[in-house]
């Protein structure tokens, strides 16, 4: 199965107010393994970036002046994602902006849903961790994914971190190397890639009292549904 973890940065929060994309970043995963292939480009939005977006992304208006417009990269972008399952955190936001850009580029491009299925990790996290904070940073902390290299919001590092979070949420597998292999293929002539290397060992996070209490309550529910002692309690007794 081919999956693309996707993240975008924008000039502001509301696509209905005419805000535009300023960065698209994607990393490829096949059969739950990162391949090293990625697509990343900055975009000239032909409008000013809101102050709040500048503070979050660190991207200045002047930096984008010589970058391509969306219609100039739309074909290579769609070629990279076509037919894959897109994994996006708060997918409604990113897909809304992408569909608005596709509409501007031409009706024949259709919408994201015409080309890809979309999996929203924010909705997944809300189901698994109801009543808790489920931002990307909060999930990294909860799942033990090292996000210390994330000083600002950036498409490529956020997509890499989301890949780790998704793997951790779905199987407990965490890809801790955020760097790119030297021979990795980069798609997109406008790509700007900074290798992300973890310089220290990942932190070991201990469960809080609330988390331990929630775990014990969950074991009680498993015991009740099993009509006896669940396998988890049996393993604890044998340990």
Q: Please give the positions annotated as active site.
A: 153
Two structure tokens written together for 176: 């801790």
Query: E strand or H helix at 68, and its extent?
Result: none
- Sheet of 117-120, strands arranged across: 117-120, 85-88, 2-10, 21-30, 33-42, 186-187
CA distance 4 to 26: 6
DSSP assignment letter at 239: -
Going by C-beta distance under 8 Å and a sequence separation of 6 or more, which residues neighbour residue 198? 146, 149, 176, 177, 178, 179
CB 5 within 8 A of CB 175: no
CB 76 within 8 A of CB 82: no
Distance of CA 140 to the CA centre of its chain: 11
């Amino acid at each position: 199965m081919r999956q693309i973890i996707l993240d975008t940065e924008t000039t502001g929060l509301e696509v209905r107010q005419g805000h535009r994309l300023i960065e698209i970043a994607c990393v490829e995963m096949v059969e739950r393994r990162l391949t090293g292939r990625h697509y990343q480009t900055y975009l000239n939005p032909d409008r000013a970036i809101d102050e709040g977006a500048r503070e979050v992304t660190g991207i200045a208006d002047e930096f984008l002046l010589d970058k391509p417009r969306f219609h100039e990269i739309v074909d290579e972008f769609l070629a990279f994602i076509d037919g894959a399952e897109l994994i996006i955190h708060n997918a409604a936001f990113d897909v809304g902006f992408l569909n608005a850009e596709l509409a501007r580029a031409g009706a024949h491009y259709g919408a994201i849903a015409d080309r890809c299925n979309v999996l929203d990790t924010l909705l997944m996290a809300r189901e698994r961790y109801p009543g808790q904070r489920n931002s990307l940073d909060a999930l990294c902390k909860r799942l033990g994914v090292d996000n210390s290299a994330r000083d600002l919001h950036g498409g490529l590092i956020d997509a890499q971190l989301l890949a780790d979070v998704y793997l951790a949420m779905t199987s407990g597998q965490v890809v801790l190397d955020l760097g790119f292999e030297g021979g990795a293929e980069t798609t997109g002539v406008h790509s700007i890639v900074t290798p992300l290397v973890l310089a220290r060992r990942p932190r070991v996070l201990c469960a809080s009292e609330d988390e331990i209490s929630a775990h014990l309550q969950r074991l009680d529910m498993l015991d009740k549904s099993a009509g006896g002692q669940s396998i988890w309690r049996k393993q604890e007794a044998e340990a």
